[in-house]
């Protein structure tokens, strides 16, 4: 079974600064996907970024980037030039490579990020 660990329950950073959220995972799988989801106060779950384990290049989406260390089973999220709208809970999630029709997500417990004006 897979486990996902987020060791930072809460973080805060000044607006425009850079912040890094940590995530580690445990799996015996070799092919899988990793995701970061954002959940603002509205509670909607929004996909931020995804990484395919077989790709060595780190994924980037505008101000969001990841540092994927497969051997260390680490998947951190970096938010650059943070904005007030980035305030949210952030969840790291793991999914085995699709096959057989069941792509279950395993979530970490989340990090509550607050951007301070």
Interface with another protein by CB under 8 A: which residues? 33, 35, 37, 42-47, 50, 91, 95, 98, 101-110
Give the nearer residue to another protein in terms of CB position, either 14 or 44: 44
Closest distance to another protein from the beta carbon of 16 (Å): 28
Q: Which residue has the tokens 């106060």?
A: 41
Q: Rounded CA gap, 54 and 81, in Å? A: 29
Residue 73 · residue 67 · CB < 8 Å: no
Closest distance to another protein from the beta carbon of 110 (Å): 6
Closest distance to another protein from the beta carbon of 78 (Å): 19
| Rounded (5°) CA angle 88-72-89 | 5
């Amino acid at each position: 079974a897979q486990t996902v660990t987020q060791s930072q329950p809460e973080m805060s950073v000044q607006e425009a600064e850079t912040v890094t959220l940590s995530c580690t995972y445990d799996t015996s799988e070799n092919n899988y996907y990793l995701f970061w989801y954002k959940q603002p106060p509205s509670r909607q779950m929004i996909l931020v970024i995804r990484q395919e384990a077989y790709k060595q290049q780190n994924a980037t989406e505008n101000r969001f980037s990841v540092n994927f260390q497969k051997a260390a089973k680490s998947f951190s999220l970096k938010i650059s030039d943070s904005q007030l709208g980035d305030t949210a809970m952030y969840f790291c999630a793991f999914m085995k490579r699709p096959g057989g029709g069941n792509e279950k997500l395993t979530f970490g417990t989340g990090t509550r990020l607050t951007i301070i004006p």
